[in-house]
Amino acid sequence: MIQPQGDCRFIGYARVSTEGQDLAYQLGRLQAAGCVKIFHEKRSGKNTSGRPQLRKMLKALKPGDVVLATVTDRIARDPLDMLHILEAVKAAGAGLRLLDEPFIDTTSEMADLFLFILGWFARWHRLRILENTAHGREMARQRGVKFGRPRKLGPQEREKIAERRAKGEPCACIARAFGVSESTILRCGVS
């Protein structure tokens, strides 16, 4: 068991991605480490916005607290998310330690080096994502994939709308008939 120093509180965070997964291992490790409070949830780690317990934990931190988790991907799967979480932890005057990855400890003398490396990796990771996305988009474009929202009306429907508008039928009536907005009808134009 890690011993808290001074007024330090250990605050635990545990997460699994789905309801079918079990939190028992993480909760057991965090309890054994002496956590006074453990925030836990069964949510995807894809981003922080969909994790209310993580946000609640970050708001509850006080200066001197230490957040404990078992491994990196329980806190964040993306290095940029991890960097943002670490910024929030640091802004609260708290630290972060990972029980099964002891080299990740922002309360040690190596904290600044760790944050620098994580920041560099997050930037590198983000650039790789942007490159891969751009490459994938270009490959799809070459295969004829159309991007953007699909049209609400097909060519035959657009032709019928043009005919009805040419006969002077009000756009509001046409819109109701096709189940779309008047602005969609107006964008179809008159042939």
Tokens of 37: 């409070």
| Residue in this structure with the two tokens 């001074």, named with its chain if needed | 6
Helices 171-178 and 155-166 meet at what angle, rounded to 10?
Answer: 150
* Dihedral class, residue 188 (left if φ above 0, else alpha if ψ from -120 to 50, else beta): alpha
Beta carbons within 8 Å of 106's beta carbon, 6+ residues apart:
86, 89, 90, 95, 96, 97, 114, 115
Residue 17 bears catalytic tag: yes
d(CA 180, CA 131): 38
Identify the active-site residue in 17, 44, 49, 108. 17
What gap in Å lies between CA 61 and CA 35, rounded to an integer? 13
CA distance 22 to 29: 13
Q: Where in the sequence numbering do the catalytic residues fall?
A: 17
